[in-house]
Structure formats: structure tokens, C-alpha cells
Structure 1
Amino acid sequence: MSFTLRSDSPKSSRKRSNPVVPVAGSRDLVVDLIRVACMFAVVAVHLLMMGISVDSAGIGVGNPLTSLTWFAQGTWFGQVMPLFFVVGGFASLTSWRSLQRKGGDAGDYLRNRVLRLVRPTVALYAFLTVALWSATAAGVPGDLLTVIAAGAGVQLWFLAAYLICQAMVPTMAKFHGLAPYRTIAALAAGAVVVDGLRLGLEHNPWGLDSNPIGLLNMVFVWGLLQQLGFFYADGFFDRFASWKLVLAAAGCYAAMVPLTHAGPYPVDMLTSQNPPMFPLVLVGLAHVLLVKAAYPVLQRCVQVGWVQKVMFVVGSRAMTIYLWHLPLIIALFGIALVLRLPFPQPASTEWWLSRPLFYIAAWALVLLVSMPLLRLELASTALAAGERRPAMWRIAAGTVLAIIPPFVVMRQALDVTNATWGLVLLVIAVALVTGKVPQRSWRTPQPVGRAEA
């Protein structure tokens, strides 16, 4: 995040009741607010999905949210990842256009995104590799270690999906400029076709796994949501009155009723996430419509000093927070177990009353750990003096290698093996896109007094 200090008047040097707060220059602060709000929601949901029970039979881990009758329907509003891809699309198109104005190309854009996203991920993979090998050597029961490792890697699917979408930005921005509505229609048609094939083969007599077909929607569904962010950046949603935006959002939810309650799609939008399914597009569209309807109110919110400070603290380390929050939540529960703190029955009244304290503790731990890691996220991607940008094939290869480890975790869950080789691939990916110093040409020195021919 790039912030500047705002001076209210020429007499700003005088003592004032309100301190100067960092204010972003030339950017949509409401988008930053939405991204930070999404981060708070993601941490909350992941914390609530981990119900630890301790009894004579041992330690049990479950998801208390699935026992709530309203939870599946509630995901239509609480599933924030589609909105995250929309605002990510806004930021991506804005960055791409800015880079183009400075003479940059697709290679420059992709290199910057790989470095921004992968360098913080290398630190996480290094930690997880050491932790899992150490736990294995210490004799931690295999079943328990499997559950812990899988939980620590749940969030990594996003890195694979987001890197795929980022690789698409230069091409999709071109399509958006040439034929924005046809591009949206093509992505929507692709998503529906993929879902049709996947659902059609779900109960096939040959025993084929239909999920691999659904993986194509990592391009169509997430790409379509990113494309909606392009429309947001162009001011498309600003053309409509608030009541029209709310009515359109209601129409999105109305369309989801027959698709889920009477159709082939699940009601729970979390189960529609990996691989993604078309209703997530409707959820994301409904959310962005409601955001734009409430835009005047949100604009007033982002002018509040403490809100801007929270946005700065969380927004400046968003990737680090996202990557580390689940392993640290697991560590927090581990500390509670070691200290023999009471663990209420998951989903009980006592359990719900204790969640705010765990939530605050989780954020405190995440922010503490993010302090030494922040430099990885904020490190410059600019080429140093004398360096040249790597060839496009190196950038493309680095991007593919960066996608593979989180993609495998998404499909198979994290374990000690894929944490280890995943770390190796991520380090290679960073090395491939890092700038290189041109080789110097050396000449044999001429003998003293001998002129060159």
C-alpha cells in the first residue's frame, strides 16, 4: 500500500485534536476497506470451523459450523472469496494499466506478481517443512499430524487460483478493452459448460472422478469474477442508482434459489469453492452490487482515522496474514492444550462465548509474527542497478512452478512430502524471475607498447 500524509491546512504544524493519519493517494479506499474486511471475515470463519474437543478418548477435531441449520444458507452472504477476486480484479487492471503507461509489458507485470506473492509463501513453506519434519521425528501420532498438516495448508488453494488469474490479466485486459461483454459471456458460458460436464459425470457408471473437469473453472469462475473487477475499475457500476443495485443483487440471490434448492448445485457455497462452481459468480456479483449501493456510507467510513489505521496495518501485510493465520490458529490451540485450558464442547453456549477471546488472541499472534515477515511482502520488485529482466520463458516457467505446490495442496492436502518439494519449487520460481546481471565481455589485455591492429 502506498500512503501519503494529508495536511488539513497551512497551520497543520499547530497542535490538533485529530492526529494526521495515513491516507492513500489516487486509489479507491473503499476497495482497500473491502479487502481488509474480507481478511477479518476469513480469519473468523477459519477459527469457527475448528472445534477442538478433549475427552477420555483423546483429542477430537471437527467443524462446529456444519451443525448449524442456517450455516449453508448463510454462506451466500459470508462466503467472501468471490468478492476478494472482484476487488483483486480492480487492483490488477489498475496496476496493469499503470505499468503500461510506464512502458512495461506482460513479462514485467507477471514477474512483479510472482515476486509479491511467492516470496512471503517461501517463508511459510520453510516453516511448515521444518515443523512437519520435526514433529515426525518427535513421534507425533501420524493421524494427528495428518489433521494438523491438512489444516495448516487449507488456505493455500488461494495462491494457486490467484496466480492463475494474475497470469491471465494482460490477455484478459486486452479482451476487456476490445469486447468486454462478449468476454464476460464467453467466461460465463465456459463455467456453465464445465459445471454441466462435472455434474453430469458425478454419478457415472464407470466410476470416473468428475472433479478434475471442474478444475477448468479455476480459469472460468475465478477469471470471470476477476473480470467483474475490470468493470468495477471502469466505473460500470457507478451508472446505476442504489435502489437498482440492491434490486439486481436480490435478483442474483433469487436466481440461486432454483439452482441450489431445486437444481444440481449445493446450497453451501464453501463446498462449491474447490473446484469453483458457477453460483459463486452470482454471490460475487451480488456482493459487489451491494458494496456499490452502500458506497457513500463506506466512503464516510474510510475517512475515520482509526479505520484508516486498521486498513494500513492489515492491508500492508495482507498476504502474510492470509498465509500464516491458519498455522498460527492451530498453534494457539496447541498452546491452550499444553496449558490445559478448558475446551468447551464445540457449538455449545460456552464455546461460542469463548470465541471472541480466541479471535483476539489469534489476531494478536498473527500481527506479532507478521512483524519480522513484513519485509518479504513489502520488498521491492524493481530491478537493481545493472540488472536486466529475465527472459519471458524464465518468467513463464517461474509462474508455473509457483502454481504447482499450492495446487497440489489444494488437491491432496498438505503433508511433509509436498511441503518439502513444494519449498524447493517455490525457491526455484523466485530464482527464475529474479533479475540477472549481464555477463561482462572480457578481452585479453594487450602487451604494453603494442598497438591494436
Structure 2
Amino acid sequence: MGRSMGRSVERSVGRLVDSTPPSRARDVDFLRLASVCVVVLWHWALSIDHFRGGVLVMPNPIARIPFAWLATWLLQVMPVFFVIGGFAHLAAWDAAGRATGSPRDDPARPWGPRARRFLRGRLRRLLPPMAVFAVVWAAVDAVLLLAVPDYPGLLRYGRAVLVPLWFLAAYLGVILVVPVTAAVHRRFGRRFILLLGAVVALVDLARFGTGSTVFGYVNTGLVWVFAHQLGYFWRDGVLRGPRRALLTALCGLAGLALVTTLDEYPRSMVATEGARRGNMFPTTAAIAVLAVFQLGLILLAAPALNRMLARRRPWTAVVTGNAVIMTVFLWHMTALLLAMVTMRAVGLPMPDEPTATWWAGRPLWVILPALFLAPLIVLFAPVERGAAAPRGPARTGPDD
């Protein structure tokens, strides 16, 4: 059965590779996959994963390693997800307009057949894997609560397993407002994103001035809409060319250097233990500036990436990875929890500091979770493939 499934997947990937049109933005697919890989490896190997008081915790070692915060300006890839999402969603929005015969964007009347077609397509891909993940973990948690006397429940014992859901909830939010944001982008372009950036900065000022976390939660939504909006400019091609790409990257870098001189914005783009606040949640304007910097780097790398991905072997690897990308993202923390429970059961060390023992164990912290993730992919990837399967005539274009 396993070999049969493997051959079926191989044939499916081969068909997708062979049918990829020349217009496909292959760099977008590569960056989506690379970003997920960075997240997975960060959670597995670059966090100090251990049990504290019987609870899974995963602080990062950034504060304990000199200048490690600089790495987070590249490795905090959540903004990249949203920039890529903006690119892909504007393409899908345009495709929905062509399919429904309503190509015009009207910010005053964004809802209609075009919006319904777009949202059906996006949500069909996103919601089934999320629902299966939630149902499976709810069932497992219920069984453990009934069967294990001292089991404290997932929300206490292994809340980190649910980390992928908060990101996907934010991502779902920006998808739901695409009919509005795409129309506003086409009508107002740079004026809107400059206004949005100013609003993000003002909301941060209100938060820091009043101490109210309500403003922080407001910016948690606005910052991700801002990053998503940047992807629209990438898709439209207005930033095309090495000079504009370099200018975008330099503006983002200068902005990061400036805002992180202020006490309110930590230099690390990921949360660190002992810090008064972090940039990620509630999300601050520093993440919006990081998105500008990372978009510039993406634009600079795009020509070389597309040349590399024009070759069959690397493109096949990207197509293969993207076929299970949601499954990997949703279940990689479950695989980590299973690996940690196994390590504790056999007495393997789980240091709570970045000691020499911690560094020496990094390969094991990649290999063992990967061994648990593999069967989870086999089990749950069919849900993702079924959700992504086209309804009606097959399409494999840049709008997918």
C-alpha cells in the first residue's frame, strides 16, 4: 500500500511539473516552501525545547548568544508568508474576476460572485487541514484526560503544539478581507499602503503611551494586512528591477536600524525570555518594517531563483514539498512533542541553556522529530491534497 501511494504521489508530482506554464512564478513557490522549512527547523533545533514543571516550553537562545538577534532579521519569516500570500491572493483574485466576468475592482462594492469564487477557492484549501488537525487533537486530548489520571490537558501540557493555529488564524483573516484590500490597492496603490503604515505607527504610539494592550491587538491585525499588501506590489511588478529591489531592501534595513534604537522595540524579531515585550505578539510596527526589508531581499533574489527553478530537478523538489506544506506546518509541533516525550522516556538530556551539550544535540533534534513527522505526513497529507484538488478542469498556472 505504501509503495502504491508513493508511486501515485510521484506520478501526480510529475504531471504538475510537466504542466507548469512558463508564466508560473516559481520563486513564490520556492519561498513558501523555504519559509516553512525555516519555521520547522527553528522550532525543532534552534529553540531550547524542554519540559518545565511538566509543561513543554521552547524559549529561544537569542538573548544568550552575542549578536544572535541579527539572525532574526532573516530567520523571522512570518512576514515572508504574508508577502507571498499577497502575491498569490492578488493573482487568484484577478483569476476569479476573469472567471466571473467581473474584472473591475470597486472598493465600494467588493462583495459579489467574484468574491465568493475567490473565497471558496482559498478557504477550501485552508480549512479542511485545519479542521482535521483540531478534531484529531481534541479527540486525543479527551481520551488522555479520561485515561491518564494526572494528565493536565493539552492547553497546559503542550500548548505549543497549537502554535500553527494562531498563525493560520491571522492568515485566514487577511484572506477574508482580500475583496476589500485588493480593490483598495488597485484604486489607491501607494497612497493606501503609506496611510496604513502611518496608522500602524500611530497605533503603536497609542499602545506605548497608554499601556493598553488593546492597541497591540489592533496592530496584530493591521501589521499582517500591511505585509500582505506589500505582496500586491510584488505581483503588480511595480517594484521590478534591481534598483527598486535594492532601494526597498535598504529602506527596510534603515527602518529596522532606526526603530530598534528605541526602547519600545527589541532588536530581536522573535520573543526572548526576560524581555519587557516582544515584536511578534502583540505585533509591532517593527514587523511591518521587517516585511519591507524582506520583500527587498526577495526581489533581489528572484531572478537567480527563477533561473535555478527552471531546471527540472530543483523544481520537482519544490513541487513535491509544496504538495504537503500545510501538513508539515500543522503537524511539525506534534512531531516535536512526540520526540520530546520519547527522549524523556529513554533518559536523553534536554538542556535548558545553550550549553555545549545543547549544541551537540542539534542533529538529533532534527532527525527524531522528522521520524515522527513522516508518518503524520502519510496519514494527513491526503486531506491536504484533496482540499487542493481543482474542482472542474485542472489548472496549474500562477493563479493557483
Residue number in structure 1 paired with 2:235: 233
Give the 3 Å change call, closer, same or farther, for CA 94–277 of structure 1 in structure 2.
same
* Residue 160 (structure 2) aligned to one of 148, 151, 175: 151
Task: Classify 1:384/1:84 alpha carbon distance in 2 versus 1 (closer, same or farther; 3 Å).
Answer: closer
Aligned to 2:105: none
* Alignment-derived partner of residue 245 in structure 1: 245
Q: Distance in 2 between matches of 1:254 and 1:179?
A: 26
CA distance in 1, matches of 2:58, 2:235: 41
Cα distance in 1 for partners of 2:150, 2:36 equals 32
Q: Percent identity?
A: 28
Letter in 1 for 2:80: L
- Equivalent residues in 2 for 1:69-80, closer than 5 Å: 69-80=66-77
> Is the helix fraction higher in 1 or 2?
2
Aligned-partner Cα distance in 2 for 1:328–1:302: 30
The residue that corresponds to 1:49 in the other structure is: 47
Query: Aligned runs of 1:198-217 on 2, under 5 Å?
Result: 198-202=207-211, 210-217=212-219
For residues 56-85 of structure 1, the C-alpha deviation after alignment (integer angstroms, 9 at most, x for no partner) is x98884524242232333212211010110
Q: Which amino acid aligns with 2:219?
A: N
- Structure of higher CA gyration radius: 1
Q: What is the aligned length?
A: 359
| Residue 380 of structure 1: how far off its partner (Å) | 5.0
CA separation of 1:373/1:339 partners in 2, compared to 1, >3 Å: closer, same or farther? same
Q: Which runs of 5+ in 2 are unaligned?
A: 1-11, 101-112, 271-277, 393-400
Cα offset, 1:296, TM superposition:
2.4
Report the Cα offset of residue 3 of structure 1.
6.4
Structure 1 CA distance for aligned equivalents of residues 56 and 390 of structure 2:
50
Q: What amino acid is aligned across from residue 135 of structure 1 in structure 2?
A: L
RMSD value over aligned CA atoms?
2.8
Aligned to 2:36: 39
Aligned partner of 1:185 in structure 2 is 194
Contact 2:28 2:84 in 1 (8 A): yes
Aligned partners of 1:156 and 1:108: how far apart in 2?
24
Q: Please give the alpha-carbon distance, in whole angstroms, between the structure 1 residues aligned to 2:68 and 2:128.
A: 36
Task: Give a deviation string over 1:13-54, Cα, whole Å, max 9, x none.
Answer: xxxxxxxx6563232000111011101100011112242269
Would you say 1:265 and 2:265 are equivalent positions?
yes
Partner residue in 2 for 1:134: 143
C-alpha contact (below 8 Å) 2:252/2:291 kept by paired residues? no
TM-score in terms of structure 1 length: 0.72
* 1:360-439 map, 5 Å: 360-379=367-386
Q: What TM-score does the superposition give when structure 2 sets the normalisation length? A: 0.81
- Residue 425 of structure 1: aligned partner: none
In 2, the alpha carbon distance for the partners of 1:60 and 1:163 equals 27
**Structure 1 residue runs without a partner (length 5+):** 7-20, 203-209, 386-453
Q: Distance in 1 between matches of 2:95 and 2:368?
A: 39
8 Å contact kept, 1:328–1:362 = yes
- CA drift of 1:194 comes to 1.5
2:373 & 2:48 partners in 1: Cα distance?
A: 17
Are 1:106 and 2:115 matched, yes or no?
yes
Return 323-332 or 306-315, whichever deviates more: 306-315
**Counterpart residue identity of residue 87, structure 1:** I
Q: 1:356 to 1:22 in 2, by over 3 A?
A: farther
* Change beyond 3 A, Cα 1:260–1:345: closer
Aligned to 1:323: 330
